Structure 1
Amino acid sequence: MPINADYRGPADLPEVIALFPLPGALLLPRGQMPLNIFEPRYLAMIDDAFRDGHRLIGMIQPDATHSEKDGTPKLFQVGCVGRITQLAESGDGRYILELTGVSRFKLVEELSVKTPYRQCRVDYFPYLDDFTARKGEDEVDREALLTVLTDFLKANNLKVDWDGVETAPNEALVNALAMMSPYGAPEKQALLEAPDLKTRAEILIAVTEMDLAKKRTSGDPPLQ
């Protein structure tokens, strides 16, 4: 999705961003993530993002295996900042919005703040390639990706818009499938932290093949 802001590199993004920790949520550069915001602290976060003018939110997964001394879940060290590109009010106090991914970041330091939501200092420089659209997509094994997608759809009695799949560029296809994948936090984090698009596609193929093999041997029912 085209966005009005032009982000050419880390200097175009703030070093301190608000974070929205959400288990199983995967946002990738130029990917779109719908969100239903209803908690007061995150409603305040959205208001502040517009008040500050940048409309940016950092999506990151909480690490369920570790907690801070006060019991607050620790965060994984890599997330993705997104710009609010659509916003609607529900009429019952919620915001319905869509984030468009800009760049991944590494968490440098969580700040002590008065806001009800968490804020961190982040570093975008390890992910300079995120600012270049379709970087490395010619190296993706598209045929292998479509083969495993077909197997996954058949195993779970699902359908897909094949016209849309066939016309999608490799970057959009890989990232959309990764974001929509039904896997857990560790797998989603591995997809996020993949060094390049080719590796992300390979991880997605491998995880899906393992999931399909597990279902075949265990007799687990397909996804509903």
Structure 2
Amino acid sequence: MAGDEASPSIGDFSDGIDDVEEFVCANEGEDSMPYERFRQVFEFVQNGNLAFRRGRFEEAINCYSKANIMKPGNPVILRNRCAAYIKFSQCLRKRPSSASESNPLYGLDPTTHAELALKDAEKVMSISNNSVKSYVLHADALFLLERYDLAHDTVLSGLQLDPLSNHLQAFLHILERLRTSSLEGSGHRKPARSDDFDCTVCLKLLYEPVTTPCGHSFCRTCLFQSMDRSNKCPLCRTVLFITSRTCNISVTLKNIIQKNFPEEHAERQSEDVNVANPGVELIPLFVMDIVLPCEKLPLNIFEPRYRLMVRRIMEGNHRMGMAMLDSAMGHIADFACEVEITECEPLPDGRFYIEVEGRRRFRILRSWDQDGYRVGEVEWVQDIHPPEETRERADLQELTTNAAEYARLWMTRAKEAAQQDRRRLAELLNVESMMPSPDDPERFSFWLMTLSKRRSSERLELLRLRDTKEGLFFGSPIVVLWILEH
């Protein structure tokens, strides 16, 4: 990325951490501990200091962490671990991305280590803020996280404690240059449009960019669409232990792209909106057996095309259609049911475990493939009800109310008979939880259908019906039994 060579950057910054502190705290007073425990803490700190001076920062962090467990809240231990986090973060930033091809990092991230350094720095500042080094570490961590305004405030506070600190004075100069360069004419020094700003998957300008731990940047949707097929970096094949929930967008890179390429970024944004939210009359289709309104079922999503579909749905309105492939006709059936994803659990291998509940039915006007899965243009379907306050409407309501009474009685007997069959009992409880009010005859007719095992063709036929009374008779033999008994 091209820029002004005179502008300060993280590469110009000297953290001022020349060495770590020795653990010379006296073991006496309120914080005293048994001698053997104190000796172990002392050895952990000594080993950590030795590793730090030899440049083995990860080893140093482990030693300081063990010491912190045995003696939590000690300023020397926290400052030393904070310094190790900062040094390790800087090493990871300087590491060329090509190194990941032969020596992958497996999840190590410079930003994560800078955030851990900031936590230690904030903790030590709350314990002891009379040390200049505490301010230096706090400002260093903020600088690595590109929180320049907060780092500037921390440096000013440190200079009040020690106005002669050479490092804090130099640090303040760098931060003021950054602030000046951002306020003045920075808009006239736009980086040249180069491949550095392109996603290597879609070969377009990066949109919602995500930088992986191995140092490569991709569009967020491109990265996770690729990871639906393989849990590896698309460029260097490093195994990635990240998910769409845990991986954050690179705010700095996003701001650079928005500021310097506004027209192309707006075009990418428009493309993404059109794909993720195709319109109120379009719905993504999951092809499987017929699902009815008021029906609840679990699904294990493992196919790459459906993983992509579920991720897009979860970023929108959580709804999709369940359509059946008509084997006789060789294409998608004409009627289907909208379902809502009520639970969604992403699994470590990229699969999704979801639970869905049937909502509305619709007729599919036309359908086509989009990124591997089906999308349909639909129209919503409802029963044609008798007019209010007519004899036909009263008869329909009476039939539904009586059927509901008999269904509850049947459900009670079925649960008693299934006490020794846990699986059957769980099925009955699941169906009972979805029972709608008899005041809605249309939904109640669909719920009745779920009480009995019916062939897919019969369930599809019920979706096509527009007469609620006919649906009540067709829906379940329970209604027929009630009529015969009365």
Tell me whether the two structures share a fold, i.e. TM-score over 0.5. Answer: yes
Whether 1:43 and 2:333 are equivalent positions in the alignment is no
Shift of residue 193, structure 1, vs aligned partner: 2.5
Q: Mark the CA change 1:49 to 1:179 in structure 2 (over 3 Å): closer, same or farther.
A: same
Matches of 1:22 and 1:104 in 2, distance apart?
A: 15
- Contact 1:148/1:208 (<8 A) preserved: no
Whether 1:139 and 2:394 are equivalent positions in the alignment is no
- What is the TM-score of this pair, normalised by structure 1? 0.62
Aligned match of 2:107 = none
Q: CA RMSD in A?
A: 3.8
Whether 1:97 and 2:315 are equivalent positions in the alignment is no
- Contact 1:27/1:33 (<8 A) preserved: no
Aligned match of 2:154 = none
Aligned match of 1:20 = 286
- Residue deviations 1:9-37, cap 9 Å, x none? xxxx82111111112x3131x54332221
Any residues of structure 2 matched to 1:61-80 within 5 Å, and which?
Answer: 61-67=324-330, 74-80=331-337
One-letter code aligned to 2:292: L
Aligned match of 2:365 = 108
Q: SS at 1:65's partner residue?
A: coil
Aligned match of 1:5 = none
Q: SS at 2:327's partner residue?
A: strand
Matches of 2:333 and 2:376 in 1, distance apart?
A: 12
One-letter code aligned to 1:14: V
Q: Mark the CA change 1:208 to 1:36 in structure 2 (over 3 Å): closer, same or farther.
A: farther
Whether 1:119 and 2:341 are equivalent positions in the alignment is no
Q: Mark the CA change 1:176 to 1:92 in structure 2 (over 3 Å): closer, same or farther.
A: farther
Shift of residue 48, structure 1, vs aligned partner: 1.6
Identity of aligned residues (%): 23
Q: Which has the higher strand share?
A: 1
Aligned match of 1:10 = none
Matches of 1:64 and 1:16 in 2, distance apart?
A: 24
Matches of 1:194 and 1:110 in 2, distance apart?
A: 22
Matches of 2:414 and 2:473 in 1, distance apart?
A: 15
Unaligned 5+ residue runs, structure 2? 1-278, 386-392, 481-486
Any residues of structure 2 matched to 1:1-224 within 5 Å, and which?
Answer: 14-23=280-289, 25-28=290-293, 30-51=294-315, 53-67=316-330, 74-111=331-368, 113-124=369-380, 126-127=381-382, 138-140=398-400, 141-142=402-403, 160=428, 169-170=437-438, 174-179=445-450, 181-206=452-477
Q: Mark the CA change 1:92 to 1:45 in structure 2 (over 3 Å): closer, same or farther.
A: same
Matches of 1:177 and 1:93 in 2, distance apart?
A: 36
Shift of residue 203, structure 1, vs aligned partner: 0.9
Shift of residue 180, structure 1, vs aligned partner: 5.5
Matches of 2:357 and 2:456 in 1, distance apart?
A: 20
Shift of residue 43, structure 1, vs aligned partner: 1.0
